[in-house]
Copies of this chain bind each other. A is one copy, B any other.
Amino acid sequence: MRELTVDLGERSYPIYIGEGLLQSAAVYFTKHGISKSSKLFIVSDTQVAPLYLSSLEDHLQSEGFQTASVVVEAGEGTKSLAVLEELVGKALEAGLDRKSAIVALGGGVVGDLTGFLAASYMRGVKFVQIPTTILAHDSSVGGKVAVNHPLAKNIIGAFHQPELVLYDLNTLQSLPRREVAAGLSEVVKEGLIWDREFVDWCAGHSKELLALEPAALEYALYKGCSVKAAVVSEDERETGLRAILNLGHTIGHALEAVAGYGELLHGEAIAIGMVGSAKLGVRYGAPQEVFDRTKSLLASFGLPVRLPGHLDTGAIMAAMMHDKKFEANKMVFVVPTAIGQVEIRNDVPAEWVREIVEELKREA
């Protein structure tokens, strides 16, 4: 078992990563001030609940916690105000009060939705994350919680830090293959922005990671969370440094939007985006290895490194321009300068980006 602390002053919290944590949740809950006298409210989704919800509830109840739970539809569509309203109704019916804690058992969708529920129910109650996807290592650090609006993703939300995060490696065993690789894409990203040694380690352990070998997984999630925690500690409210976490995301988000959410998983889209950013880095003078290693590393995880040819370049460019406000054809990009190191540039010519999008379609 590994433990790390997300260091945010008064709002600091621990992340526990290990096997079998679901069966000892009560110990950690108690240690971190989750009360037995007020009801816990557990939110999970239709994929995760049948696998892990009843064992979690049984365990907690046998340890003297009172629990109520609700299962939402799996999928991004669930991150909506309509579902939030439903959950508030169920929480009221369950008798949740200000001292209650709300627990997210699931991936990033359940985490973001449930976190916003916890942030806004009675103007804020305690929140616990039990992430069940690899990608959710990302959403369990930093306190960004949100739901979507039909016109924009994650646009309605809050910063609401959990009391603790319990990452039970056993729950990851049931993850679909594609979700595993997509989650690892974001783990690799943490290395690429911050830690060359960890990139080397990832390159040497892709097989173990894809096979969900517990020791490797534990270390990878520990490192991934640690990098994100280090960045977030410096910039809780996302005013500066935190932007480096968006490596690969400018192109990635545009691809998700143009492909229609679903064709490309988030981690897949940003894999292609990271290859694009590496190209940009090399144009700005980074060593050629930045591109070569980024691409081969992502490919070794079975992630796409080529941009699907049927996606229209004009539409991709338009989606990027819409995503952020760019002045006079200059774009903001997180650009690698070396393996494990990036800079934020706000002067990237849109023309270069267009050329790179075209090149990405021709990648082998």
Measured CB to CB, the residues of A under 8 A from B are 81-82, 84-85, 88-89, 92-93, 97, 119-124, 144, 146, 149-152, 155-159, 238, 325
Contact = CB atoms under 8 A, between A and B. Distances in A.
A92 B152 contact: yes
Contact of A89 (B93, B121, B149, B157): B149
Contacts of A124: 158-159
23 contacts: A81-B81, A81-B85, A88-B149, A88-B151, A88-B155, A88-B156, A89-B149, A89-B151, A92-B152, A93-B151, A97-B325, A119-B158, A120-B120, A120-B157, A120-B158, A121-B155, A122-B157, A123-B144, A123-B157, A123-B158, A123-B159, A123-B238, A158-B158
A4 B228 CA distance: 41
A331 B243 CA distance: 50
A149 B86 CA distance: 9
A24 B193 CA distance: 48
Contacts of A150: 89
Nearest to A84: B81
A143 to B, nearest CB: 9
Contacts of A89: 149-151
A110 to B, nearest CB: 18
A32 to B, nearest CB: 19
How many copies altogether?
A: 2
A333 to B, nearest CB: 18
B97 A155 contact: no
Contacts of A158: 119-120, 123-124, 158
Contacts of A149: 85, 88-89, 92
A92 B123 contact: no
Nearest to A89: B151
Nearest to A157: B123
A156 to B, nearest CB: 5
A93 B88 CA distance: 28
A92 B122 contact: no
Nearest to A159: B123
Nearest to A91: B155
Contacts of A97: 325
A237 to B, nearest CB: 8
Contacts of A155: 88, 92, 121-122
Contacts of A81: 81-82, 84-85
Contacts of A144: 123
A198 to B, nearest CB: 29
A315 to B, nearest CB: 19
A82 B150 CA distance: 12
A325 B37 CA distance: 12
